[in-house]
Amino acid sequence: MSIFQDFQNLFNASPNLVSAAPGRVNLIGEHVDYNQGLVLPFAIDSVTYCALRLRDDEKILLSSKQVESKIYETSLSNLAPKTGPDWTRYILGVIWSLGIKRGVEILIDSEVPQGAGLSSSAALECSVAFALNEALSLGLTRIELAQLTQRAENEFVGVPCGIMDQTISLLGKIGHALLLDCRDLTSKLITVDFEENGLRLLIIDTQAHHALVDGGYAKRRAQCEEVVGFFGLISLRDLSASELEKKKMLLDSTLYSRALHVVTEIDRVNAAVSALKRNDFKLLGELLNQSHDSLRFQYQVSCPELDCAVEISQKSGALGARMIGGGFGGSAIALVKDGDVGMVASAVERSFAEAGFKSPRFFDAIPSEGARLIDRRY
């Protein structure tokens, strides 16, 4: 049944509109968005739908097809950071950060796998923000929506994420990755055509979620801040590899490793853009491999499942592979020749079984369109 009909059955009225916003993969540029660096994500073809109706009072009624309970009810005057059941906070946070003054009814339905490191939370926030912006004619730009949804996640949900996931969910374009400069939020579309070149980008969801996820992420951010303080900079974006090497002996060795990752990863993003422009997928693959090594050994945000997915992909013919997102679980990507996909996937499956890991899941990463209106009826 369509979300439109589900909404009617649940709320006994039609939604004003239905929006959709996608999850993402990040080709390269990991753990650099909060260091004002460069990232190269693209939107995937799985989306989160938001059907929305404006009310004439202050009530907020929320429901999700992925959650058992029927309808969660609260009101605009009750909105306060870090309140409400977990799944509602992403929605309430957006209503809060956009400063909405009218009650709403919202039904959510999501195709983005949860906990797979594919930004299901950004997809949820962005679909709600996009729907509110349209229904209330707020006139906010997509970049403004990205900033406000990030604020919702940072302050209302309480997760200290950067701005990459929300931005790509809103700005994604079919057939392109987005080269986003996280210092000034300017961006360029970069053509990505795996299919035309006989390739596929395989997403390997390890199904692993390690307890370190939240604490580990915040700790890495704090370590980057320490290096920024040590060098007296505004952000690690302003640190050069030679400057870092010069002061290596004076810097704590863990902090040095963290900074080394950030500085080299930003260079790899530039190199990946040039490789894509020349259709040099061999080089792109090598850059993915280098990125993974750096995330594993310098930044230390990988885990045994991610390392296994990457190593086995590399050994069974992938041009390159790496973990994506925050780390400590979630997904890896592998750049694979079309004809080798089955071989790579079954090798990874076998190794996971031998290691006693949960069975991995596989998806195709197809550069897709960002947030959009699906249906508008008044």
The verdict on 180 binding ligand GLA (CB under 6 A) reads no
Q: How far is the CB of 295 from ligand GLA (least distance, A)?
A: 9
The verdict on 30 binding ligand GLA (CB under 6 A) reads yes
Distance in angstroms (rounded) separating the CA atoms of residues 146 and 101: 20
The verdict on 306 binding ligand GLA (CB under 6 A) reads no
Nearest to 34 by CA among 246, 224, 266: 224
How many residues in the shown chain lie near ligand GLA by CB under 6 A?
10
Binding mask 310-329 for ligand GLA (x = CB under 6 A): ---------------xx---
Residue 181 annotated among the catalytic residues of the structure:
no
**Sheet containing strand 176-181, strands side by side:** 38-39, 176-181, 187-191
Q: Which of 7, 11, 34, 256 binds ligand GLA (CB under 6 A)?
A: 34
- Of 17 and 128, which CB lies nearer to ligand GLA in the complex structure? 128
The verdict on 161 binding ligand GLA (CB under 6 A) reads yes
Near ligand GLA by CB under 6 A, which window of 25-33, 70-78, 230-238, 304-312? 25-33
Nearest to 118 by CA among 281, 298, 300, 362: 362
The verdict on 22 binding ligand GLA (CB under 6 A) reads no
Packed helices 142-151 and 120-135: angle between N→C axes, nearest 10 degrees: 120
Of the residues 165, 193, 364, 375, only one is catalytic, namely 165
The position carrying tokens 């853009």 is 273
C-beta pairs of 213-219 under 8 Å, 24+ apart in sequence: 213/326, 213/327, 213/328, 213/329, 214/159, 216/301, 216/326, 216/327, 216/328, 217/160, 217/161, 217/301, 217/326, 217/327, 218/160
Near ligand GLA by CB under 6 A, which window of 101-109, 158-166, 206-214, 239-247? 158-166
Q: How far is the CB of 345 from ligand GLA (least distance, A)?
A: 24
Distance in angstroms (rounded) separating the CA atoms of residues 71 and 63: 5
Distance in angstroms (rounded) separating the CA atoms of residues 57 and 59: 6
- Of 34 and 49, which CB lies nearer to ligand GLA in the complex structure? 34
Q: How far is the CB of 269 from ligand GLA (least distance, A)?
A: 11
Near ligand GLA by CB under 6 A, which window of 8-16, 26-34, 201-209, 350-358? 26-34
Distance in angstroms (rounded) separating the CA atoms of residues 84 and 86: 6
Q: Which of 103, 162, 285, 360 binds ligand GLA (CB under 6 A)?
A: 162
Q: Which of 134, 165, 205, 265 binds ligand GLA (CB under 6 A)?
A: 165
The verdict on 164 binding ligand GLA (CB under 6 A) reads yes
The verdict on 203 binding ligand GLA (CB under 6 A) reads no
Q: How far is the CB of 4 from ligand GLA (least distance, A)?
A: 31
Near ligand GLA by CB under 6 A, which window of 7-15, 78-86, 97-105, 161-169? 161-169
The verdict on 305 binding ligand GLA (CB under 6 A) reads no
- Of 16 and 149, which CB lies nearer to ligand GLA in the complex structure? 149
One-letter amino acid at 366 equals: I
- Of 120 and 351, which CB lies nearer to ligand GLA in the complex structure? 120
Residues in the chain: 378
Near ligand GLA by CB under 6 A, which window of 29-37, 64-72, 345-353, 361-369? 29-37
The verdict on 265 binding ligand GLA (CB under 6 A) reads no
Q: Are strands 372-376 and 38-39 parallel, antiparallel or unpaired?
A: unpaired
Active site residues: 165
Residues lying near ligand GLA in the complex (CB under 6 A) are found at 30-31, 33-34, 161-162, 164-165, 325-326
